Amino acid sequence: MAALTGSVGQGGRNAPADVTQVQTLLAAKGGDPGAADGQCGERTIAAIRKFQAGFMALPDGLISPGGGTWRKLTDANTATLVQWSGDSAQWPEDKKLRSMHPQLSQKVQAVLVALRDAGFQPKVYYGWRSVEVQQRLFLAGNSKVRFSFHNVQKPDGTPLSHAADIIDARYAWSPQAESSGFWQALGAAAKKEGLIWGGDWVSFRDWAHVQLVDNGELARLKRESGL
């Protein structure tokens, strides 16, 4: 694999040979940069941003020689970005559980059993989710942070979520979730497993949210994720 001679993308040098190489690599990772024609148009820049969204909080649409995006693009391990792509809220439950830290996955499964035994219909809505999705939730006012415990991953891009959102399949976030006692049952079951429950947070009640470690660990986990 030849090294880039200059930057490619938004505001880049965009030498045709460099652009062609980036387009080819993006397509191999499941992206849609258009034809590998050496022309860096809006479609190629959009594909760069979408690729970056899997590991960057603020995708800039630019690939620099030897930079982080170039390393991700040329690393064989980034095939994991394709494996874990798509709307993670729509993944089957076993995949959502596999996207979690093993300790969290084990505890969440125990919570699900306890809730089923209590007559509820618990469903994991989110395990891991991408930074791109997190940004949308933040901008919509549905999250207070741009990077959350849901976004934690290994440096190679493999999900390692330290949080999960659990709902009752019948109620989701509707008023019935509270009136049925589901949120309180979720909180009790989560805390029994040693998990932190977002319903206890005074400033922002995140009723469906459970997480593995204290909020003070978030900055460290972000650094370890390489994000």
Range of the domain at 52: 8-83
Q: Is there a single domain that holds both residue 130 and residue 173?
A: yes
* Domain at 146, CATH number: 3.30.1380.10
pLDDT for the residue 139:
86
* Comparison of pLDDT for 41 and 133, the residue scoring more: 41
The tens digit of pLDDT for each residue in 71-90 reads: 888 876 555 556 777 789 99
pLDDT band at residue 156 using 50, 70 and 90 as cut-offs: confident
- SS3 category, 203: coil
Do 132 and 26 share a structural domain?
Answer: no
CB-CB contact of 171 with 180 (8 Å) = yes
Domain boundary pick from 83, 105, 138:
83
Question: Residues 6 or more apart from 81 whose CB is under 8 A from it?
Answer: 29, 30, 51, 54, 55, 72, 157
Contacts of 99 (CB under 8 A, 6+ apart): 84, 88, 91, 127, 128, 159, 160, 161
From 30, 64, 83, the end of a domain falls on 83
pLDDT digits (tens, 9 = 90+) for 21-72: 999 888 877 788 988 899 999 999 999 999 898 788 899 999 999 998 998 8
158 and 123 both lie in a single domain: yes
Cα(3)–Cα(139) distance, integer angstroms: 37
pTM: 0.68
Mean pLDDT of 139-165: 89
Confidence of residue 221 (pLDDT cuts 50, 70, 90): very high
Question: How many separate domains does the chain show?
Answer: 2
Rounded Cα distance, 1 and 8, in Å: 16
In a domain, 1, yes or no: no
Q: State mean pLDDT over 209-215.
A: 97
Q: Is residue 95 domain-shared with residue 62, that is, in the same domain?
A: no
Q: Is the dihedral of CA 109, 208, 52, 25 positive or negative?
A: positive
At 79 the pLDDT is 52
Closest by CA to 22, choosing from 2, 158, 59, is: 2
Using an 8 Å Cβ cutoff, are 59 and 111 in contact?
Answer: no
Among 23-27, 109-113, 134-138, 139-143, top mean pLDDT goes to 109-113
Higher pLDDT: 110 or 132? It is 110
Flag whether pLDDT at 1 surpasses 80: no
Of 120-129, 130-139, 150-159, highest mean pLDDT = 120-129
Task: Identify whether residues 140 and 163 lie together within a single domain.
Answer: yes
E-only strand ranges, 175-223: 196-197, 209-211
Task: Answer yes or no: do 155 and 186 share one domain.
Answer: yes
Calpha distance 183→208 (Å, rounded):
7
